[in-house]
Amino acid sequence: MDAVAVQAVASPVPVLPAQLRDFGRQEYAPVWRAMQRFTDARDEATADEVWVVEHAPVFTLGQAGKPEHVLAPGEIPVLQVDRGGQVTYHGPGQLVVYPLLDLRRLKIGVRDYVCRIEQALIDTLDEWNIVAERREGAPGVYVGGAKIAALGIRVRRGCTFHGLSFNVDMDLEPFHRINPCGYQGLQVTSVLDLGGPSGMDAVKAVLLDQLARQFGLVLQPVSALPDLSLPA
């Protein structure tokens, strides 16, 4: 996989409001069902939202995921989900962001959407003098050949769900139980391991600011969360 030159992506205009919901630490499946319900119910008048969460330990297999890439899950559950991509791990100390955006309203395509997320991550790491890159044909962000952030998205009727996972300060051992993103022997790393901050709040603030800049959003925090007890 060859590195791709990093280029800044201009923010779209006009600036649009989006609701920001912080879920804290949650199991994966209830949040997944909630984003499905939100996406199914939204229309052209629905405001965009950005959800942030830390998940309890789980392996997720995307639509292209192959069971043979789950090597030895042990006690960690494995879920087949409806995002793009292969297998990845979520767990405490990893920042997960789900942008629920109307790409038609933003007037951008899927490829541009992915590039903007990657650029937000690259610019976030630059805050701590960590040089990151994207790679052709392998969505996500890498530092020195090791993956620090994974992307897995879905677009339905022009609206995005699922999103990104960013390793901040977490136990990376579970990644050895899989072929991350379908690549045998792919190394992973974290913000803390590279000399960045360990505090989730500090990293979250910078990443959300960079995402807002890339997509031309004004994030408006709201305390109310969707009912996570409902079925899909």
156 annotated ligand binder: no
| 163 annotated as belonging to a binding site for a ligand | yes
What H or E segment, with its residue span, contains residue 117? helix 110-126
- Burial string for 193-222 (b: 16+ CB within 10 Å, else e) reads ebebeeebeebbebbbebbbbbbbbebeee
* Superfamily the domain 14-221 falls into: Bira Bifunctional Protein; Domain 2 (3.30.930.10)
Structure tokens at 197: 């901050």
Ligand-binding site membership of 86 (annotated): yes
Residue 88 annotated as part of some ligand binding site: yes
Q: Is 177 annotated as a binding residue?
A: no
Spatial CB neighbours of 68, under 8 Å, sequence gap ≥ 6: none
State the CB neighbour count (10 A cutoff) for residue 79.
Answer: 12
Say how far apart CA 162 and CA 83 lie, in whole Å: 6
Q: Mean pLDDT in each 10-residue stretch from start to end of the chain (232 residues)?
A: 46 77 98 97 97 98 88 96 93 99 97 98 99 93 97 96 98 94 89 96 98 98 94 70
Task: Tell me the whole-structure pTM to 2 decimals.
Answer: 0.92
Please give the span between the terminal C-alpha atoms of the chain, in angstroms, as a whole number: 37
Element (H, E) at 24: strand 16-26
Residues marked as catalytic: 181
Is 155 within 8 Å of 163 (Cβ atoms)?
A: no
At residue 78, the pLDDT reads 96
Overall residue count recorded for the chain in this entry: 232
Sequence ranges of the domains in the chain: 14-221
Write down the pLDDT at residue 1. 43
Given this model, what pLDDT does residue 3 score?
A: 46
